[in-house]
Amino acid sequence: MSDQSTTFIAKSTVKAADKEHRRKINFNISRYNAVVPTGKQQFSNIDLAREKAKNIKWRAIETLDKQLEAFEMNSAKRGVKLLWAETAEEALGQILNICRKKNCSTIVKSKSMVTEEIHLNKFLGKNNIESVETDLGEYIQQLDGEAPYHIVTPAMHKSKEDVAKLFADKLGTSPNLTPTELTLVAREKLREKYRQAEIGITGANFIIADIGGIAITENEGNGRLSCAWPKTHIVIVGIEKIIPSMGDLDLFWPLLATYGTGQKLTVYNTILLGPRQKNEIDGPEEMYVILLDNGRTNILSNEKTRESLYCIRCGACLNACPVYKNIGGHAYGTTYSGPIGSVITPHLKQMDDWKHLSYASSLCGNCTEVCAVKINLHELLLDNRAEAVEQKAYSFAEKTAWKVWKSAMLNRKLMNIGSGKLKGWMVNRFVKDWKKNRSELVFPQKSFSQQWQDKHTKRD
Ligand code: SF4
């Protein structure tokens, strides 16, 4: 068993028994569930919209090389400096180079899962560069020294009382502040950081091939400030975020808003086309876009799993997953949690270390049912399990146990040996973990074939 697997089991065991955690998550997810149907009403045929979005992403991913080249060519026309990063280390090195060139000591950052994936804040901190999260949820998490809990709502596991207490502890405010007052405190602190920052870093929800543009979706306006106020703007984004045309946003923007937060449209939707141009009065003087691979081409090369690159990170599959709702986002120990995280992490990292996530699923199919772009998530989890077996990513003990089980199940004589009591005694000795939260396995006194024979003998 890998270290990651042991940690996952330990953390999820604790969280699953934490009733207060479950209460907060159920409350927040119930609010999400209440508004999603309203967002869906804007589509005359929501199923068709999802199908169409899936087809657009299919085309984008099947022609990824050409789409990325088109993006490179078109973005360069308006002065974007494009960098390609094969690994997290390469991307971090590129960001550090830019920071050194700009003599940068403070960065303002908007919410980006890719920056979490490459552990950017930690890296910048080690290099004496302060990186400040400006999305309120991310700001709360950064104050608390925690990673995001959810890919859309980073502080979903915290109540407003938890946040008031955190602000009181870290910022010295009153522990009884209301959400509005807490937001104003964050706003005041962050304004100062915007003024100081030499560089703003953002992710991107979509990269648009035909216009060489970057699309950013957010509800707070902090993303716009992060890319427009500092003199230098760095975008870091995974290569799978490509869409072929600006016209595709007509579908993707409302779809992302509906499945992400139940809104018809997110409050701020911005398309960025390079740094400030000669005839423009605002915007950064320089704009860099770092296109990150970091394991995505492994997924691309796998015909089955490739579909997971269609993901628009709406978070709906996390909210629908009974496992996620019980163990929470942090137990996964990964940047991307929930069903989509369980599908992609073993391919982005090592199958051997992360295959256990494929089993963090009841295979109920709810994730597939709610996915904004109709990714067959639960089937991909099964494919991961199969792949782990093909890659021999299992222990000797596991292999032996299944071998013995298979031989017994395929041999009628062996199956008929011993009473139900004896079989129960033997099997229950090997399933100690299973029994921790369950009653003992009880075998019938007679095997199926013995019962069958009895039944037919009596009839004759
Ligand atoms: S897999 Fe589907 S439901 Fe899950 S985050 Fe991605 S787009 Fe949303």
Mind listing the pLDDT tens digit for each residue in 191-224?
999 999 999 999 999 999 999 999 999 999 999 9
Distances, alpha carbon 50 to alpha carbons 46, 69, 208, 255, 307, in Å: 6, 27, 19, 8, 14
Instruction: Say how many Å lie between the CA of residue 260 and the centre of ligand 1.
Output: 9
Pocket test for ligand 1, best of 33, 340, 344 (most atoms within 8 A of CB): 340
Q: Higher-confidence residue: 255 or 437? A: 255
Q: Assess contact for 111 and 227: CB atoms under 8 A.
A: no
Give pLDDT, residue 430. 77
283: phi > 0 → left, psi -120 to 50 → alpha, else beta; which?
left
Strand partners, 291: 84, 237
Structure tokens at 200: 């703003």
Q: Higher-confidence residue: 40 or 424? A: 40
Whole-angstrom distance, CA of residue 150 vs CA of residue 328: 8
Q: Is the dihedral of CA 253, 254, 258, 261 positive or negative?
A: positive
Of 6-20, 135-149, 362-376, 446-460, the range with the lowest mean pLDDT is 446-460
Task: Scan for tokens 């997953």, then name that residue.
Answer: 321
**Residues 88-116 pLDDT 10s:** 999 999 999 999 999 999 999 999 999 99
Give pLDDT, residue 460. 62
Give pLDDT, residue 397. 80
Give pLDDT, residue 302. 95
Residue nearest to atom 7 of ligand 1 (CA): 311
Provide φ and ψ at 289, rounded to 5°. -125, 125
Give pLDDT, residue 447. 84
At 177, which amino acid appears? Answer: L
Give pLDDT, residue 56. 98
User: For a pLDDT cut of 70, what percent of the chain falls above it?
Assistant: 99
Smallest CA-to-CA distance from 311 within 358, 243, 265, 234 is with: 243
Give pLDDT, residue 450. 85
Instruction: Say how many Å lie between the CA of residue 374 and the centre of ligand 1.
Output: 8
Whole-angstrom distance, CA of residue 441 vs CA of residue 428: 6
Query: 298-301 long-range contacts, Cβ below 8 Å, gap at least 24?
Result: 298/347, 298/348, 299/240, 299/344, 299/347, 299/348, 300/61, 300/64, 300/240
**Residues 250-286 pLDDT 10s:** 999 999 999 999 999 999 999 999 999 999 999 999 9
Ligand 1 atom, smallest distance to 370 CA: 3
Q: Is the pLDDT of residue 431 over 80?
A: no
Instruction: Say how many Å lie between the CA of residue 255 and the centre of ligand 1.
Output: 11
Residue nearest to atom 3 of ligand 1 (CA): 371
Pocket test for ligand 1, best of 113, 217, 243, 314 (most atoms within 8 A of CB): 314
**Residues 323-382 pLDDT 10s:** 999 999 999 999 999 999 999 999 999 999 999 999 999 999 999 999 999 999 999 999
Structure tokens at 80: 């974007």
Instruction: Say how many Å lie between the CA of residue 440 and the centre of ligand 1.
Output: 38
Mean of pLDDT over the chain: 94
Instruction: Say how many Å lie between the CA of residue 237 and the centre of ligand 1.
Output: 17
- What's the average model confidence in pLDDT over 188-192? 95
Pocket test for ligand 1, best of 371, 376, 380 (most atoms within 8 A of CB): 371
Q: What pLDDT band is residue 390 in, cutting at 50, 70 and 90?
A: confident
Pocket test for ligand 1, best of 240, 313, 347 (most atoms within 8 A of CB): 313
Pocket test for ligand 1, best of 240, 312, 337 (most atoms within 8 A of CB): 312
Ligand 1 atom, smallest distance to 320 CA: 3
Q: Is the dihedral of CA 412, 415, 417, 419 positive or negative?
A: negative
Give pLDDT, residue 401. 81
Residue nearest to atom 4 of ligand 1 (CA): 317
Residue nearest to atom 8 of ligand 1 (CA): 314
Instruction: Say how many Å lie between the CA of residue 313 and the centre of ligand 1.
Output: 5
Q: What pLDDT band is residue 32 in, cutting at 50, 70 and 90?
A: very high
Q: What pLDDT band is residue 400 in, cutting at 50, 70 and 90?
A: confident
> Which residues contact ligand 1 via a Cβ below 6 A?
259, 311-317, 340, 370-373, 375, 377
Smallest CA-to-CA distance from 253 within 39, 34, 32 is with: 39
**Residues 51-94 pLDDT 10s:** 999 999 999 999 999 999 999 999 999 999 999 999 999 999 99
Whole-angstrom distance, CA of residue 206 vs CA of residue 71: 11
Residue nearest to atom 2 of ligand 1 (CA): 371
Give pLDDT, residue 398. 78
